[in-house]
Structure 1
Amino acid sequence: TWKCGASHYDVIYSLDVLYHRGIIDQEKILSEFAQALKPEGLLILNLAAFKCLYRNHDRVVHTARRYTKNEVASLLRKAGFTVLYNNYRLPVLFPVILLKKLFEKADDTESDLDTDLNPITNALLYTYNRLENIVHRLKVPLPFGTSVFTVAVKQ
């Protein structure tokens, strides 16, 4: 559990937390985030997207759920937030992960993210992320991705 005083933070950044199986009541956690934020404080969320991408990696890292951006927006509104920005991230990896899921072994108990990336792949992904960040700054809606990225303000 996470306990904190009321109106304590200007910003809370929750990176890949709410989807974890250890979070039993996500609505309660979001309400606690709202309570912990100062008036007009920001909540920044990054969450796993789309149930169809659920695979062995998710089991290994204890993913309990994946979201659509509409589901995230609805949860935030119920918790007293106004959504400022809500979009998908990493759409280029969506088909890659879907294909990996189709060809993975059902009994695999390790995450495929435990491997080191070669420098070329790392440089390509870094460059791609920089380009995608421009898309996000321009607020271009992306139809799908592997993550939901959301910024909300406490009402």
Structure 2
Amino acid sequence: MSIIIEFFVAPSHEAAAAVAEGGPDGAFESLVYGNFDAEEALIEWEGIFTGRSFDELVTADEPEAVAGSDGWESPVVFAVSQVLQDALAAANQSRLVDVSRLWVQERAADGEALDQEIATKILSDLARLARGIGGRDHRLYCWMA
């Protein structure tokens, strides 16, 4: 499980990968969280938004690692899929609450307690970050250490 999780916006995979060692703090606008498996969350969120299965998304190599995926010995950076980024940007608050509720249920089925309010806040914050990208050629990324 990750200790520090930062979601951030960057102009390219190369720019995102460049902050792998120290994290995006100060280099890019970011949101900081902790103590959940963000890689798994990205897969679960995309599955909830799109109806694709967890296994299907894993087989499709989602989320895409852009830096440091050498067995968690170092920090890692994942690119949030364009599909998930677009779904977050388009979601209204009601949809975000529904997705967070389903995410909490998935975590509970795996024996992990996740607070509904925190889950909704995370997804709402990410949606706001995704909406802020607008027409720019930027992507959402996730850094974990």
The structure where helix makes up a greater share of residues is 2
The structure where strand makes up a greater share of residues is 1
Q: Fold-level match, TM-score > 0.5?
A: no
TM, length-normalised to structure 1? 0.25
TM, length-normalised to structure 2? 0.27
